[in-house]
Chains A and B, each alone.
Chain A
Amino acid sequence: MKRKTIRSLLYNTLLMIFCLIILFPVVYSILVSLHEPKTAFLSIIPQRWTLENYARLFSHGQFPRYILNSLINGLGGAVVTTLAATLAAYSLARFQFKGKAAIEAFILGMMLLPGLTNLIPIFKLASDLKLLNTYTLMILVFGAYGVPLSIWIMKGFFESVPKVLEEAAAIDGANPVQTFLQVVLPITIPGLIATLLVNFVYNWNNFITPLILINKTSMKMATVGLFDFQHVLEGNQDELLAAACVVIMIPAIILFLRLRDYFLRGMTEGAVKG
């Protein structure tokens, strides 16, 4: 028993130190953002705390526009993903049909194709189709990115709905669409909304895709805007840069804290099923 106590003391100490290392960069960026201009590196803790950087960030410049673009592309993509994946997942969870195994294998296989190697051809295709710098393109690309993994997660949700419920509805004379809308959907809706929000966070965070597919200032997403800021502000307005960092971190942190288990589930499924 005593050996166990010593061990858990040791483990807790090591884990706490590790967590401090993990947390430090995030906490540090928040601290920098609360410094007065030009004082970021004089002390870790601000000598005088201020929210001025956040006010400046939203009162002039392109940043509010970037945030709006991130919201439009991020949510738009997540909605497309969720709609397409819901339909496909329901089909795969509930029906037996010819070619089903092949379709499942295809979807799983596509999970393994990296997004990175597609960016140059997508850029070229989009430029030929005059789709560069449009919401349509970003929503389509983000929409597709999330589909394979979301199908897998939602398939699990649909499989957990007892078939008896659907059979009862069918006996009561409901057609398949009514059964889906009135019986299956209400049970699975929390899961679907969570999937939508998880996809939103991944889209919101995405940096390399909009970096390549958007070069017009008014259409840039916040992550790419931050990359531009880094070049312009670094070394003289780091406090402002930090504020932009924190604003981009906040939605992801809040949604992660609310939906931790959905995020973790997505990560394991993505790796183990892929």
Chain B
Amino acid sequence: MKNRSGGIYPYLLVLPALLLILAVTLYPSIYSIYLSLTRIRGGVSEFVGLDNFNRILSSPSFYESLQVTLIFTFFYVLLTVTVAYGIALMLNSGLKLTGVYMTIIFLPWILSEITTGVVWRWMFYPKEGIIQNLIAPLFNNVALITRPAGALTIVIAATVWRSISFAMLLLLAGLQTIPHEINEAAEIDGADGLSLFRYITWPLMLPTTVVTAVFILIQGINGVGMILSITEGGPGRATEVLGIMMYRQAMQYFNFGFAAAISVILLIINLILAAFYLRALRRESVLAA
């Protein structure tokens, strides 16, 4: 039974899966590169070389979107990982209610972005929003969602709220690989909670933390659902991250070549991040072994 080779069967069995992945993932990725080099004019697509990229790279709106994307992902990753870290530390201390907490914390992640996006928008309605009214005195009664910085803050809060569970799960898995003896020994030596974290947990967890941060970063770059349902990229273009710019160019202005070029830029960013991610992952597993 060892080294069982089934002739042609093993290949036939993986074939349907491979064909699906080829047709829906790999081929479209390659096709998007071709599309980004074309433009549709009068219903006919023509080859325009790097024209779309030239237009993107010389358009101020691209750099605005890029800036929004960078600000959004920076705070999204920072806040998600920080809060998730805190929650993971608390859940790792063997509380009786851990199971209940886990179930509740995961709720946002398993709900559709559009449903939770609708609710977040309600909470910040200019006049009736329940959270808006709560915080209005702090902001001179300005409706946050109508201001660029305010809208971006709301969108960041909502996406962090949705993703904490995922980061928490990865960090908790990392924490559970730290042997209890290490913590106990340090406590016997008189280490208090803070120095225990600083000198033991943090360094041991650093590879896992990096993996988690890069993973959340990838989620952030590609996340558009919450933003679409909360602000649709507005007010103006204040929350228009690259993904939403791509969507708008394709679906509202029918600039497919242009949208495909943004798509290719996003793809390149993703490939770079994926390379980072695999490296971080390998480093983590080497250290864990």
Question: A residues touching B (Cβ–Cβ < 8 Å)?
Answer: 7-8, 11-12, 14-15, 18-19, 21-23, 25-26, 28-29, 32, 40-41, 44, 80, 83-85, 87-88, 90-92, 94-97, 100, 103, 106-107, 110, 112-125, 140-141, 143-145, 147-148, 151, 163, 166-167, 170, 176, 201, 204-208, 211-212, 223-224, 226-227, 230, 234-235, 238, 241-242, 245, 248-249, 252-253, 256-257, 260, 263-264, 267-268, 271-272, 274
Query: Is B115 among interface residues, defined by CB-CB distance under 8 A?
Result: yes
Interface residue from B20, B26, B112, B222 paired with A248 (Cβ < 8 Å): B112
Contact B16 A117 (CB under 8 A): no
| List of A residues within 8 angstroms of B28 by Cβ | 118, 121-122, 125
Q: Is B259 an interface residue (CB 8 A)?
A: yes
* Contact A147-B17, Cβ < 8 Å, known A22-B107, A249-B115: yes
- How many CB-defined contacts (below 8 Å) exist between A and B? 272
A30 and B35 CA atoms in complex are apart in Å by 44
- Beyond A15-B97, A23-B104, A166-B1, whether A144 also contacts B260 by CB under 8 A is no
What are the residues of chain A within 8 A of B1 when measuring CB–CB?
163, 166-167, 170
Chain B interface, >50% SS class: helix
Q: How far is the CB of A207 from chain B (nearest CB, A)?
A: 4
B-chain residues with CB within 8 Å of residue A23 when the two chains form the complex: 104, 107
A12 contacts which of B95, B111, B125 (Cβ < 8 Å)?
Answer: B95
**B114→A120 contact, CB < 8 A:** no
Pick 9 A–B contacts, CB within 8 A, sort by A: A12-B97, A91-B14, A97-B5, A116-B243, A119-B263, A252-B112, A260-B106, A264-B102, A271-B170
- B199 interface hit (Cβ, 8 Å): no
Query: CB distance B13 to A253 under 8 Å?
Result: no
Q: Is the CB of B173 within 8 A of A268?
A: yes
Known contacts A22-B108, A124-B35; decide if A114 and B24 are in contact (CB<8 Å): no
Which residues on the A side are within 8 Å of B101 (C-beta)?
15, 19
- Taking a contact as CB atoms under 8 Å apart, the answer to whether B222 and A140 are in contact is no
Identify A116's interface contact among B5, B23, B266, CB under 8 A.
B266
Are the C-beta atoms of A88 and B17 separated by less than 8 Å? Answer: yes
Residue of B nearest to A260 (CB): B103
